[in-house]
Structures are given as C-alpha cells and as structure tokens.
Chains A and B, each alone.
Chain A
Amino acid sequence: MTRRVVGPFNRVEGDLEIKLDIDGGAVRAAFINSPLFRGFEQILVGKSPSDALVYTPRICGICSVSQSMAAASALAAMQGVAIPDNGALVQNLVMAAENTADHLTHFYLFFMPDFARAVYRAEPWFGAAEARFKAVSGTAAREVLPARAEFLHLMGILAGRWPHTLGLQPGGTTRAVGGSEQVRLLATVASLRRFLETSLFADTLEQVTALDSEAALDAWMDAAPSERGDLRHFLVVSKVMGLDKLGRGTGRYLSYGAYGMNGGHAFRRGIVEAGRPRAFRSAEIAEDHASSWLARPAAPAHPSHGLTLPEPDAPGGYTWCKAPRLAGSVVEVGALARQIVDGHPLIVDLVARGGGNARTRIIARMLEIARIVPLMEAWVRTIRPREPFCAHAAMPPDGECEGLVEAARGALGHWMEVRDGRIANYQIVAPTTWNFSPRDENGVPGVCEQALVDAPVREGEIEPVAVQHIVRSFDPCMVCTVH
C-alpha cells in the first residue's frame, strides 16, 4: 500500500488536497482535506441580522447569490414577511441564472479539459476532444466565455451585478422590472437558448428534457456523429472510457427543493433512499466533528445550535470540513440528487441501472440546464411590471430561523439565532460539506471519499486521471465547504 498526497486539485472552486491509499492499481481509501479556514460563522456573531446579506455571499464567489438567498430566506422566516409574486419570480430568475452559469462553467472549464490530458493521447477520440476542450486554448472555452458573459447580463438587469449582489432581500428583490427590461430579459435568455441548442445539445431543450430512459439517451447519442453537440461528445467519450463505472455514490440523495413558488418548488424537496422517496425533516441533520480540526461538542449537533471553532491540533483531524449526516447517514447532494428527488425519468432510470456515478452526475447537470431555461422564459413572461417586487417588514429582536435553498452544487442551509437584535449564532452547511465530508465518529467516510474507492490508477500516473474525473464530477466548492 502506498500513500500519495494529491494537490492542489485545481479547476474546482477553492483549495483541495486528497490523500490516497493505493494498492494493486486502484485507490483503496481516500481522505479529503479542505486546507483553508476563514471563519465566517465567527465573523457573523454580533452583527446586525441584515448584514448577513453582505457577509454570506462572500463565502463564495461561484454561488454567491445562493448564499445570499439562504440568508434572505432565513431572515424572511424570522420576519414572517410574505414575498410578492414578482419578487419570488425575480429571486428564482437570479438563482436560476447563477446555477445555469455554474453548470456551464463546470462542464466547459472544469470538467471536460481532463479529456485533453496527455494520458489519453493514444485514444482514437483524443484529437477531437483536445481541439474542442483543451484548457485555455480549446475552441469551446472561447465560445462559452462570451455566451456566459452575455447571459449574465440578466444579473446586471435584475440584480445590479454578479457576484456579491445585495439585490435579493427577505421580502423580494430591490430592482423593479419594467416592460422594457422584461423584453430584454427574454432576449437574453433566448440568446443562451440559441447557444445551448447549437453548441451544447445540437438539439432543442425540449427534446433533451423529453429523454426518459437510458435507452432513449443511448438512441439520441447514436443518432448523430459524436461532434454534433458537446453533450453528445461527452456521452460518446465517457461511454468508451467507462465513466459510468467511476465514482459510485452512496445511493442516498437529498434536495431541499429548488425555485420556491406558491409554497412549493419547481424541483421537489425530499430524500431518495434505496430508490424510494421520503419526506425531508430538518431535525434529522447533525454535524459530526470527529475528523475535523474543530472543537468537539459532546455529540453531533443540529446546526441550529452548532459550533464552529477552529482547533488545529484536534486529534484525528484531517480537514476543516465537518461531517453532516442525515439521520446518521451519508447523503449525496447536487443536480443528480435534485433530479432524482424530483423524479425525472431519465435520471431515475440511469440511477436504477448504473447508480449515481461520474457520468450520471454530468448528465443530470446538463439535463437541468435544459429544464431550467424554459422555466426562466416562463417566469420572465409572468412578471407584472407595475406591481410590487419587494415587501418590507420589521426584524424581531429575538428568534431562530433556517433558510434552505438549492445552490448549483446542492443543498445549502443557513441557521441563525438572533438575541437583542444581534446575531448570536450563525451556522452554515454547504453542499460540498455534504459531498466532501470526512469520516464521522463511526469511521464512515463521506460521499466523495467513498466514491473514490476502487478508482483505477494507471501505470506511472502520479495524479490519477480517474480520480480527477470522479472528484470533478461533484463540481466541488471548497470555499463554501469550510467557510
């Protein structure tokens, strides 16, 4: 058995280091470390509750409005404010824009460049993949950056700027949309649709959304040559390379529900365990500190009375990340979890046949893009320009609340306690904290730690490419993880 330390793991958000135990050409155990600690939860104590809207987005530059939305939802719960329909529509649009931009950034800039690595030089598909996806110089990056930037004009129109907008508030949004903005929003979304239908899918969003089984997906893949659309290119290469055998997850999925509207969600809230859905209960969440460089509470605690105090010499610690567990179990979050909890037939079928794996995670993300953009079009059309976008309410001096949202990378929760008008405790559980958690007090590894076991290591490889694919299939965000 050899122990190897891999890092920095770039083309993820933030810093990541992984210790691998390797034997017989495969990974036997993985220990994931997030080596940066900033201490947002301490920073927030003593602040005015509304200031959470300034601090928490700055936990993360890649999903800053998701952080902001979690804080706004928590504050809204405390204030008991009812958001006008326009406000909820714009909140959803801003969240959807960030999530879509994140999925695109991940696919084109973070994930696909690994197929242009020299280890694959001998593969018959290599030339095409390298021309299209090579980091910095590939044709894809040069197309997607302008398309992404133009799509983010939506943020300029609706939220002033991105990242780190203050426009999402407990009672709605700060920028009223007039008739002219409404049509420009439609044009901006239409422009993204054109990019997606030309470059990413080479098909309509509706056709992609209608794929309802692995057989249907395979037929779609085979219906055109692999260069017809970047998704097909991925599907072909990943099939040849067996990405569906890599990075098997735990089979337990959690989604807080995405895009709230009229008391429900556009993508349902819930849990899927052993293929069966069940209801989510916040009280089942507990954070375990057994492998973290953090002070140890007597027992794993619910985040509403959680604790985040650094203790660099805590025995057995190997990361700043905590280990959140749901009813004691390891759960996976993210686009795959969202789509399986929502019951999309393609993802349900893929997981039933081959489990959650590196390939399914990418497919779920791309499917999500195809599903979100038409929703955005409908939301823009539903805005009623002369009606209110923001309600205002007083903040009670004392109380406790939670804000649960779905960031691109999965379930994000904020828990806040306010005493005498000041934040007394603030705890955050980010999506990557779920997926990249270390071992808990029972020695059970987190989702990605489990997914890395059995990853093949090729002869002479220092940083195994299979490990790269698996880690990046989760689209980890380490700055969120440890905040």
Chain B
Amino acid sequence: MQNLPGKPRRLNLLWLQSGGCGGCTLSLIGAESPDLLTALDIAGIDLAWHPSLSEATGFELHELLARLISGEEPLDILCLEGSVIRGPRGTGRFHMLSGSERPMKDLIADLAPLANHVVAVGTCAAFGGITAAGDNPSDACGLVYDGREPGGLLGPRFRARSGLPVINVSGCPVHPGWVVETFLQLAGGTLTEADLDGIGRPRFYADHLVHHGCTRNEFYEFKASARNLSEMGCMMEHLGCMGTQVHADCNIRLWNGEGSCTRGGYPCISCTEPGFEELDHPFTLTPKRAGIPVGLPTDMPKAWFVALASLSKAATPERLRKNAVADHIVVPPVGRQGKHQK
C-alpha cells in the first residue's frame, strides 16, 4: 500500500497498556471508513506490537523491547493507553510488566525519550483519568500531566525525538477517528506543535465544544430543560451537562455510526478534560448557586448569561416547553400555514 506523500519509509508503532481498562483499544478497533487495519496500511504504519492484536507474546515482546531500548531497532511511534501507575509508595509495583521484575512506569520512562513521537491515548494516559479518582489508590498519573498539573511521569518539559511534546489524544474512551487522524497526520509529517492545544490535545477535535452540533441546541437557546434523564430538553440546567465547556467534536463527528452522549440521552461529563474523574458534584446533577448553574460557558460574562437566560425562558415556545420534558416529540413544529404538519 502506498505511503502518504513525503514519507518514504514505513513507521513502526509500539502500543503499551498500563493503568487503564483497554476501552481505548476496543473503541479504536471500531474505526470506520476505513477500518483500523486499512488506515494503518494507508499511513504506512506497522504494528511493532499491540497487546490485543499481535501474535507475538511473552519472550518475543521482551526481545523486541530489548532491541528498542538498545537502539538496535528505531521506535517511530510509542502509544500509551492507560495511566502511569506509581504506587505503592513510588515503587510502581501495582503494575509490573508481566514476565519481568520491572514496573511498567520504568519501562515507559526508558522508551519515551527514544521514540520519535509519543502519543497518550485516552484521558488516563494523558492526565491520569478515572484511575486517579477518589484518593487515587494506585497513585496514577498521565505521561506529562498529573490531573490538571503539568508534570506526570516524564516532566513538563519532555520532548520526543521529533521535538513534539506528548500528543494527548484524550477521551474516556477516545473516539477512533481522533486516533486514526493523529496517526495519519504524524505519518504524513503534517502535525506541528501549533496543531496542539495548550494541554497537548490535537486541535482538530479540541477546538470544538461538545455543545456544537448538539441536537438539543434549540432547547438550550430557550432554556427549555430536561428534568430527568431520557427527556429531550437541554441537560445543562439540571442534569450536569458540561457540553458548553468541554473540548471535543462529539456532536459533529458522532460515535458508533450516529451516536453521542447527548444524543443517547445523557449529559456530557467532560471525559476529554483533565480532572473529569473527580468533580465536586454527582455527574448527572448540575451544581447551582442561588438557582443558577455554577458551570456556565467559559467565554460569556455571567451577568449577560443570566439576563439572556431569563429573557429566553420567558419566550420559550410551547412546543419546546412540552418536548423538553417528554422522551419523544409530542408537539411537532408548526408549518408555514400555521398548521401542525403531521
């Protein structure tokens, strides 16, 4: 299969998993148009090893790792799925590489500086993610973030051999398209630091908000809100939806053919953001102060939001008021002739 322009050589990719759930891999193998294996072919990427897909096992992997560490074999792309496990007490013993006496965190630290590109796949690898929730029993962190703080395993100044920082393809799990497009851009040599946002996420998905393209936008405009999960109204006011603040193109790109969290009837819980694992409120409840949701859109003055909201609430059409609290359309839009078009 042909490489993208400007890339004469096939690249190798090593995929490691640590403190995660494997969900990013399971999401990734659902890539469509094209499927994952075709996408890798087109990108000119060979799997040096992937835990779910490769035949090689046990000693074959240990030999491969030795060759990569000695430099005998170059490492083009290193992907980590799952967070880095530092516990207990900094030993990394909560996750040892099978068939060895080595903590995974040491292996990752050895390999990362040797790789031309380092990709953190999913929110765990990027920021620590769900594994770091609660009291963070395993002392989990990301490759260059520890929650919202720069640092992580590799330190804030880490650069891969290409000069790029760790690419944080966050998401719990990641959308397969986010990973595939990152691979294609890396293979084509077109991904630059300017294409990453302030916390290392590819801007092609992180420059959007989940709110963009949400089918509930009209309800949002009129503050016609769902009271219970499964109702059709906007979920910002009562059900914890953070779509107006969360960076991701979930409602533009869509999941599994045509889904998204909000289309599935539940709120965006900010899974692409650092710290999403530990909110100070239950996920499906909106925290409020004096009846006003605390987490308003970040780039809008609060007073204006409140003023506009009360205005639009007063103007909410009957259709939206009723549909917002129903699970299917009970009042259809009125046609130009002033009749319901049934």
From B23, B29, B98, B172, contact of A60 by CB (8 A)? B23
Partner-contacting stretch, out of B49-57, B217-225, B300-308:
B49-57
Q: Does B340 contact A (CB under 8 A)?
A: no
Q: Does A64 contact B (CB under 8 A)?
A: yes
Cβ < 8 Å to A, chain B residues 37-54: 37-38, 47, 51-54
Q: Does B31 contact A (CB under 8 A)?
A: yes
Instruction: Using CB atoms, name the residue of chain A closest to B21.
Output: A61
User: Contact between A10 and B61 (Cβ–Cβ < 8 Å)?
Assistant: yes
Q: Does B291 contact A (CB under 8 A)?
A: no
User: Contact between A15 and B98 (Cβ–Cβ < 8 Å)?
Assistant: yes
User: Contact between A134 and B228 (Cβ–Cβ < 8 Å)?
Assistant: no
Q: Does B72 contact A (CB under 8 A)?
A: no
From B51, B59, B135, B257, contact of A11 by CB (8 A)? B51
Q: Does B96 contact A (CB under 8 A)?
A: yes
User: Contact between A157 and B259 (Cβ–Cβ < 8 Å)?
Assistant: yes
User: Contact between B31 and A55 (Cβ–Cβ < 8 Å)?
Assistant: no
Contacts of B57 in A (CB 8 A): 8-11, 463, 468
Cβ < 8 Å to B, chain A residues 33-55: 33, 35-39, 42-48, 50-51, 53-55
User: Contact between B255 and A156 (Cβ–Cβ < 8 Å)?
Assistant: yes
> Shortest beta-carbon distance, A109 to chain B, in Å?
7
Q: Does B229 contact A (CB under 8 A)?
A: yes
User: Contact between A312 and B88 (Cβ–Cβ < 8 Å)?
Assistant: yes
User: Contact between A167 and B21 (Cβ–Cβ < 8 Å)?
Assistant: no
User: Contact between B266 and A166 (Cβ–Cβ < 8 Å)?
Assistant: yes
User: Contact between B55 and A54 (Cβ–Cβ < 8 Å)?
Assistant: no
Instruction: Using CB atoms, name the residue of chain B closest to A309.
Output: B137
User: Contact between A8 and B47 (Cβ–Cβ < 8 Å)?
Assistant: no
A388 to B228 CA separation, bound complex (whole angstroms): 13
> Shortest beta-carbon distance, A168 to chain B, in Å?
10
Contacts of A53 in B (CB 8 A): 283
User: Contact between B229 and A160 (Cβ–Cβ < 8 Å)?
Assistant: no
Q: Does B119 contact A (CB under 8 A)?
A: no
User: Contact between A59 and B255 (Cβ–Cβ < 8 Å)?
Assistant: no
From A6, A64, A114, contact of B99 by CB (8 A)? A6
A150 to B257 CA separation, bound complex (whole angstroms): 7
> Shortest beta-carbon distance, B203 to chain A, in Å?
22
Q: Does A173 contact B (CB under 8 A)?
A: yes
Q: Does A152 contact B (CB under 8 A)?
A: yes
A149 to B35 CA separation, bound complex (whole angstroms): 8
**Quick one: CB contact mask for B92-122 with A, threshold 8 Å, 1 for yes?**
0111111100000000000000000000000
Q: Does B272 contact A (CB under 8 A)?
A: no
A54 to B135 CA separation, bound complex (whole angstroms): 17
Contacts of B271 in A (CB 8 A): 164
Partner-contacting stretch, out of B126-134, B147-155, B158-166:
B126-134
Q: Does B286 contact A (CB under 8 A)?
A: no
Contacts of B138 in A (CB 8 A): 37-39
Q: Does B263 contact A (CB under 8 A)?
A: yes
User: Contact between B22 and A61 (Cβ–Cβ < 8 Å)?
Assistant: yes
Q: Does B193 contact A (CB under 8 A)?
A: no
Contacts of B230 in A (CB 8 A): 169, 172-176, 388-390
> Shortest beta-carbon distance, B136 to chain A, in Å?
8
Contacts of A389 in B (CB 8 A): 230, 327
**Quick one: CB contact mask for A12-36 with B, threshold 8 Å, 1 for yes?**
0111110000000000000001011
Contacts of B96 in A (CB 8 A): 17, 35
User: Contact between B94 and A37 (Cβ–Cβ < 8 Å)?
Assistant: yes
A160 to B88 CA separation, bound complex (whole angstroms): 37
Q: Does B244 contact A (CB under 8 A)?
A: no
**Quick one: CB contact mask for A98-112 with B, threshold 8 Å, 1 for yes?**
000000010001100
From B19, B99, B327, contact of A5 by CB (8 A)? B99
**Quick one: CB contact mask for A138-157 with B, threshold 8 Å, 1 for yes?**
00011001101110111111
Contacts of B261 in A (CB 8 A): 160-161, 166
Instruction: Using CB atoms, name the residue of chain B closest to A34.
Output: B98
A155 to B131 CA separation, bound complex (whole angstroms): 25
> Shortest beta-carbon distance, A310 to chain B, in Å?
7
Interface size on B, residues (CB 8 A): 75
Instruction: Using CB atoms, name the residue of chain A closest to B94.
Output: A37
Chain B interface, DSSP helix/strand/loop, else mixed: loop
User: Contact between A14 and B58 (Cβ–Cβ < 8 Å)?
Assistant: no
User: Contact between A166 and B264 (Cβ–Cβ < 8 Å)?
Assistant: yes
Contacts of A157 in B (CB 8 A): 257-259
A39 to B86 CA separation, bound complex (whole angstroms): 13
Q: Does A58 contact B (CB under 8 A)?
A: yes
**Quick one: CB contact mask for A325-352 with B, threshold 8 Å, 1 for yes?**
0000000000000000000000000000
A145 to B32 CA separation, bound complex (whole angstroms): 9
Instruction: Using CB atoms, name the residue of chain A closest to B23.
Output: A61
* Given A10-B57, A36-B85, A36-B94: A60 and B22 interface contact (C-beta under 8 Å): yes
Q: Does B320 contact A (CB under 8 A)?
A: no
User: Contact between A60 and B21 (Cβ–Cβ < 8 Å)?
Assistant: yes
Contacts of A165 in B (CB 8 A): 264, 266
User: Contact between A61 and B259 (Cβ–Cβ < 8 Å)?
Assistant: no
User: Contact between A163 and B173 (Cβ–Cβ < 8 Å)?
Assistant: yes
> Shortest beta-carbon distance, A177 to chain B, in Å?
9
User: Contact between B21 and A36 (Cβ–Cβ < 8 Å)?
Assistant: no
Q: Does A298 contact B (CB under 8 A)?
A: no
Contacts of A5 in B (CB 8 A): 99
User: Contact between B55 and A117 (Cβ–Cβ < 8 Å)?
Assistant: yes
Q: Does A392 contact B (CB under 8 A)?
A: yes
Instruction: Using CB atoms, name the residue of chain A closest to B32.
Output: A149
> Shortest beta-carbon distance, A9 to chain B, in Å?
7
From A17, A42, A48, A58, contact of B21 by CB (8 A)? A58
Contacts of A156 in B (CB 8 A): 254-259
> Shortest beta-carbon distance, B268 to chain A, in Å?
10
A55 to B328 CA separation, bound complex (whole angstroms): 29
Contacts of A7 in B (CB 8 A): 58, 98-99
> Shortest beta-carbon distance, A468 to chain B, in Å?
7
Instruction: Using CB atoms, name the residue of chain A closest to B235.
Output: A174
User: Contact between A388 and B26 (Cβ–Cβ < 8 Å)?
Assistant: no
A386 to B285 CA separation, bound complex (whole angstroms): 27
Jot down 10 A-B pairs with beta carbons below 8 A, ordered by A.
A8-B97, A39-B134, A43-B133, A44-B134, A50-B283, A53-B283, A164-B271, A167-B265, A176-B230, A310-B137
Which 7 residue pairs of A and B lie closest in terms of their CB atoms, listed nearest first?
A160-B264, A61-B23, A7-B98, A156-B259, A39-B137, A174-B265, A156-B256
Add 10 more A-B contacts to A5-B99, A50-B282 (CB < 8 A): A8-B98, A37-B95, A42-B137, A51-B282, A58-B23, A156-B256, A162-B256, A175-B230, A310-B94, A390-B228
Contacts from B to A (Cβ < 8 Å): 17-27, 29-32, 35-38, 47, 51-59, 61, 85, 88, 91, 93-99, 130-131, 133-135, 137-138, 140, 172-173, 228-230, 254-267, 269, 271, 282-285, 327-328
